[in-house]
Chain A
Amino acid sequence: MSMSETQNVAEIKARNKELINEVLQVYPEKTAKRRAKHLNVHEAGKSDCGVKSNLKSIPGVMTIRGCAYAGSKGVVWGPIKDMIHISHGPVGCGQYSWAARRNYYIGTTGIDTFVTMQFTSDFQEKDIVFGGDKKLAKIIDEIQDLFPLNNGISIQSECPIGLIGDDIEAVSKVKSKEYEGKTIVPVRCEGFRGVSQSLGHHIANDAIRDWVFDKAQGKDAPAGFEATPYDVAIIGDYNIGGDAWSSRILLEEMGLRVIAQWSGDGTLAELEATPKAKLNVLHCYRSMNYISRHMEEKYGIPWCEYNFFGPSKIAESLRKIASYFDDKIKEGAERVIAKYQALVDDVIAKYRPRLEGKTVMLFVGGLRPRHVIGAYEDLGMEVVGTGYEFGHNDDYQRTAQHYVKDGTLIYDDVTGYEFEKFVEKVQPDLVGSGIKEKYVFQKMGVPFRQMHSWDYSGPYHGYDGFAIFARDMDMAINAPVWKMAETPWKAKPKPHLMAAE
């Protein structure tokens, strides 16, 4: 039930404002004041969404956020496939994040590839009391012994490491020397640092800068690497369900050469080669703008944000990327757009009639709260509420300036309570969020898709991905099950908040 059909924008805005006031009533005064700054109704023409962001989550409210370790090990480092990533500390963090993110890769797992394995120092009380540096040194030895084909090691710090004063940098240096300059990267991504995953991304980016780039400095490009004028690196694509692959194929088809993937299906060699790129193309701005800016400053590599969700944004992005290159590439972009037009037309012809006018509420992580809006609009759907788990103000600026419509409900670091109430009152046709939210809304009878993991589907990036995206949204919304949620003998008229019903 689209609001736009029954209400004008002024009514929607008034309703959303009232809704915000209503949810704030539940909080103690101090908390209400803090949460009020994170909730807003978007005003067209404003340069941002009018919410505060990247601030500490409030204790006890059921934030959806994770931690810096999740941002570093779970997002940035974990997918680098030929390195071994040690979850350094107690067993849990590595256990809960073990193979949970579907960063697809090709390789012989356990021999030359290690993404879906859980390496942990499994800290015991004595490690907390006496420190874990000796244990870490021994772990590195044991890794070298048992996994001789690993190309590098990263140490992903869990909370205790920073609290007990371990010197993982010193251990890394000593061991790197001992193993002939092996890349060993200490990462200070303890979970208590910062306010969310976001600082973990930043710390992980900095660790690549300091322990991969700076280490390679002065060396020639990796063996066998010959630069071409068309070299680009894909930055900020984690290859969830193969996203980076369905993106890479388009860049290659337009005549570019993708020399690195950061970090889905990526390798250490690809990281090391990236300073040779002519352009960095950046998908997840939030998690990898830091390293892109660094490469711009240090190596003079320009970077360009793009969006490969949905044909409108894909075409726009292909042309934008091509604008950094010569006519050959510009023609290549047009050729690619033309090649896939028939597929796009077929997908839209098939799915748009089933999805036209349906409304969506989103709450996701780094780029998706804005990036997927275009894909929904290509299918005739409307995003009526969105928010970031760990966005910063620059994310909300991009959202306001390029994506959301007037009157959209905006909720930053939404709490469980708020999200549930918003959905209950707005009654969207679809909610897109994460595993912790999925079953809450499905119980309420609201169709749902996980928009972190693509609900175990995907890829969603690129033209091939758009077909899957469209199919999945259709199967979520139009599944017969949602007509059965209500027990027939208990059926009562649905309480719609919408005044114009």
Chain B
Amino acid sequence: MTQSADNVLDHFELFRGPEYQNMLAAKRELFENRRDPAEVERVREWAKTAEYQEKNFAREALTINPAKACQPLGAVFAAVGFEGTLPFVHGSQGCVAYYRSHFSRHFKEPTSCVSSSMTEDAAVFGGLNNMIDGLANTYSMYKPKMIAVSTTCMAEVIGDDLNAFIKTAKEKGSVPEAFDVPFAHTPAFVGSHVTGYDNALKGILEHFWDGKAGTAPKVERQPNGKINFIGGFDGYTVGNIREIKRIFDLMGVEYTILGDNSDVWDTPTDGEFRMYDGGTTLEEAAAAVHAKATLSMQEYCTEKTLPFIAGHGHETVAFNHPVGVAGTDRFLMEVARLTGKEIPDALARERGRLVDAIADSSSHIHGKKFALYGDPDLCLGLAGFLLELGAEPTHVLATNGSKGWAAKMQELFDSSPFGKNCKAYPGRDLWHMRSLLFTEPVDYLIGNTYGKYLERDTGTPLIRIGFPIFDRHHHHRYPVWGYQGGMNVLVRILDKIFDTFDANTNIPSKSDYSFDIIR
């Protein structure tokens, strides 16, 4: 017996002792009917080959370890960025339990969201009663300022009509007539979580700008000098939105953040649970129609929203999750152009500091090969940064990336000599990436928490940037946008590079040279 009260061993160590090891070996031997270890080894080696890769890439039906989620997750993300807003997902209730868990595991914060809890009878008769009761309950219990409705695939398959249902619910008195209930259909079998973000945000703006589903006059646009900012679905939203606000304030820009999640996913522990916190106020959301321009930080998160906004007379500009010097330069110069504000010297100095840091460190990154996966915009932004660090983003993969995205990636590769041997993989998953890492190895991998399986199987060190990050804490508090955000990304990459150097040079009298104190 190894357990003791003085030194309590948990799962990290407990099972490594001989008692458990013998027990597990006997279990395997006697009961598991496992494959011959030699056969397992043969297949393990085979799965690293080009032959296996060819089969793997020939897959047409099966998806393995995808790097994308479904639409309603994005809808919930968008909704909680508005003041006092409770997301209401119409359909099966298990989905909502999943979205809430998913966000809480990433942000280490509560995520409030309700479901209309549809079951078999609703599948047959439709979910109208669930909508009527659900809105009434949500309104009385949680006193939201707005309820933003989206759908699960169940409600979409049976064809529930949100517009009609919400109207009927209001007629039945579930919520007051004038209460804001924007909605968006968000079928899980179309697009991904970024599509859901897009649909939900558009639904909210449409609600406020275009006459609240026929219940109010459309807002007459009276252009002012403000700009709107849309962050998109972003795992770093807490740090990023705060950084963007700081930058705008430094520049003296008048702005509205459309969908500000930075407070609701970063509330203090001080004795009070804040179900709602911060967010774009409903007045701001409505008044945002008057802005002269709208910026989207993530083009693929706003493919419908931006044209909708442009249709209201705004100039619109889309970026692809800019990270690093050139990306931030373009962003700031666009903001300056649109608002007529000068970029203050304080930001020029921040830029200089990032360039300084790159100059100090790029020799450790220059020429290194990276594999990278994530949402389409994040991939473009990070690949751009890697190129300016002199690194090669050799494999760039987005499960929810389109052919158009791949073409855009190729353009980026073509813009730099370091992009020469780089390739984009739209619509592929992490099992494809696994093959790539075996057949065309790289030095480092950038991706979300699930990349740790690739790191384990292929030995490629993982730099955690993306969503979700479940197994490291608090990264979402640090921006990756702006020059300071670029600094954070640079440091994260460098830390892994230096840790890897140390880990590869630390066996005394074998590989202890190069175990340097100064790097």
Chain A contacts to B: CB under 8 angstroms: 26-28, 30-31, 56-70, 82, 89-93, 95-100, 104, 106-112, 116-125, 127-128, 135-136, 138-139, 142-143, 145-146, 148-149, 151, 158-160, 162-164, 191-195, 197, 222-225, 241-242, 245-246, 248-249, 252, 258-261, 265, 267-270, 273, 339-340, 343, 346-347, 349-351, 415-417, 420, 434-436, 438-445, 457-459, 463-464, 467-468, 470-471, 481, 485-487
Contacts and interface: CB of A to CB of B under 8 A. Distances in A.
A445 B40 contact: no
A463 to B, nearest CB: 7
Contacts of B109: 439
B73 A92 contact: yes
Given A96-B102, A110-B457, A436 B110 contact: yes
B117 interface: yes
B415 interface: no
Contact of A106 (B1, B28, B64, B114): B28
A38 to B, nearest CB: 14
B97 A123 contact: no
Sorted from nearest, which 6 A-B pairs have the closest CB atoms? A67-B94, A92-B70, A59-B134, A60-B134, A269-B33, A96-B98
18 contacts: A28-B137, A67-B95, A89-B188, A90-B189, A92-B69, A92-B98, A92-B153, A95-B66, A135-B61, A138-B60, A138-B61, A159-B157, A248-B27, A249-B20, A259-B31, A443-B270, A457-B10, A463-B3
Contacts of A27: 137, 140-141
B142 A67 contact: no
A60 B137 contact: yes
Given A90-B188, A97-B98, A148 B43 contact: yes
Interface stretch (B119-127, B367-375, B384-392): B119-127
Given A92-B70, A95-B70, A441-B273, A350 B119 contact: no
A193 B102 CA distance: 22
A471 B5 CA distance: 8
Interface string B5-19: 110111100110001
Given A60-B136, A92-B73, A458-B11, A106 B115 contact: no
B190 interface: yes
A269 B64 CA distance: 25
A163 B154 CA distance: 8
Contact of B55 (A95, A145, A197, A463): A145
B63 A269 contact: no
Contacts of B434: 110
B92 A159 contact: yes
Nearest to A68: B94
B31 A436 contact: no
Interface in B416-462: 431, 434, 450, 453, 457
Contact of A59 (B11, B34, B116): B116
Contacts of A151: 33
Give the contact-size bracket for chain B: 35 or more
B110 A57 contact: no
B505 interface: no
A106 B24 contact: yes
A26 B140 contact: yes
B154 A268 contact: no
A65 B68 contact: no
Contacts of B62: 119, 121, 138-139, 142-143, 146
A182 to B, nearest CB: 14
B11 A459 contact: yes
B187 interface: yes
A225 B33 CA distance: 10
Contacts of A350: 5-6
Contacts of A111: 40, 43-44, 47
B137 A127 contact: no
Interface in B81-124: 88, 91-95, 97-102, 104-105, 108-120, 122-123
B61 A60 contact: no
Contacts of A440: 110, 273
A122 B428 CA distance: 12
A466 B224 CA distance: 65
B274 interface: yes
B222 interface: no
Contacts of A158: 153
B407 interface: no
A95 B133 contact: no
Given A100-B105, A269-B31, A191 B66 contact: no
Contact of A116 (B40, B190, B453): B453
Interface string B271-293: 11110000000000000000000
Given A119-B63, A192-B120, A245 B23 contact: yes
A448 to B, nearest CB: 11
A28 B69 contact: no
B154 A191 contact: yes
B345 interface: no
Q: Tell me which of B52, B113, B157 has the highest count of chain A C-beta atoms within 10 A of its own C-beta.
A: B157
A267 to B, nearest CB: 5
A415 B453 CA distance: 36
B273 A117 contact: no
Contacts of A458: 10-11
A57 B97 CA distance: 13
B35 interface: yes
Contacts of A222: 33
Contact of A164 (B3, B88, B157, B192): B157
B141 A26 contact: yes
Contact of B119 (A56, A127, A464): A56
Contact of B6 (A95, A98, A242, A346): A346
B223 interface: no
A340 B59 CA distance: 53
A96 B113 CA distance: 16
A431 B15 CA distance: 28
Contacts of A116: 453
Given A99-B450, A191-B154, 12 more contacts: A61-B138, A92-B95, A95-B69, A96-B73, A112-B34, A124-B190, A162-B123, A163-B157, A193-B119, A249-B19, A269-B32, A458-B11
Contacts of A467: 3-5, 8-9
B68 A95 contact: yes
Given A66-B98, A112-B35, A122-B66, A464 B136 contact: no
A139 B58 CA distance: 12
B438 to A, nearest CB: 12
B92 A67 contact: yes
B267 interface: yes
A67 B141 contact: no
B32 A192 contact: no
A62 B55 CA distance: 45
A42 to B, nearest CB: 25
Contacts of A59: 114-118, 130-131, 133-134, 137
Contact of A123 (B98, B113, B118, B189): B189
Nearest to A89: B153
B104 A486 contact: no
Nearest to A266: B32
Contacts of A470: 5, 8
A417 B142 contact: yes
Contacts of B66: 91, 95, 118, 120, 122
A163 B112 contact: no
A98 B471 CA distance: 13
Contacts of A64: 97
Contact of A443 (B119, B154, B272): B272
